[in-house]
Amino acid sequence: MTMVKSPKESLIVNTDQVMINDLNNYNTLFGGVLMKKLDNNATLSARRHARVKECVTASTDSIDFLYPITQSDSVCVESFVSYTGDKSMEIFCKVIAEDMISGERRMAATAFLTFVALDDRKKPVKVPEVLPETEEEKFLYESGKERAETRRIRRKHSKELTKMIELEKPWEKGEMEHDCYVSGVK
């Protein structure tokens, strides 16, 4: 297996139309619908880079919704591996909306997701490094180490937070008053 790969080797491009059932009450694309498209694309980029059967989403680092997407638009999601750790891959996604009537194209969203490649026993495996070529790829790669450190700090904080979060159902707590209603039942 090649231990260094170009981002273009993991490039996935997927263009789709916006259907009426993809729209929210503002007649723009549901954020969740776009998030699913991003995760699907990013998964394929990760698998293509690592050449494994399974890659799992470790985190969705950020999704920046920059411009609304409407039913008259097509949605093009491009994703590729922008930075790697030893066993993790950062996937950069960009979403380009194109008005199918006027042909106007705009950057609708950007996102960073992190994936881990797994072997047949569901254990993380080492992934190839990435060697950027274009200016865009170099910019993303050079800023990747800082994003990876931010992810480590955020993950540590999340683990600390989980120790503080209660798992009891609110209606099972002893301090609740007897006149509280749960699902309409007293």
pTM for this model (two decimals): 0.85
Segments making up each domain of the chain, as ranges:
4-158
Residue 73, beta-bridge partner list: 99
pLDDT tens figures, 11-66: 999 999 999 999 999 999 999 999 999 999 999 999 999 999 999 999 998 899 99
Dihedral in degrees, nearest 10, Cα atoms 39, 43, 45, 49: 150
Token digits of residue 175 = 């301090």
Q: In the chain, which residue ranges form alpha helices assigned H by DSSP?
A: 31-50, 135-142, 144-164
Pick the CATH number of 4-158 from 3.10.28.10, 3.10.129.10, 1.10.3720.10, 3.40.720.10: 3.10.129.10
pLDDT tens figures, 100-115: 999 999 999 999 999 9
Residues in CB range of 177: below 8 A, 6 or more apart: none
Residue 79, beta-bridge partner list: 12, 93
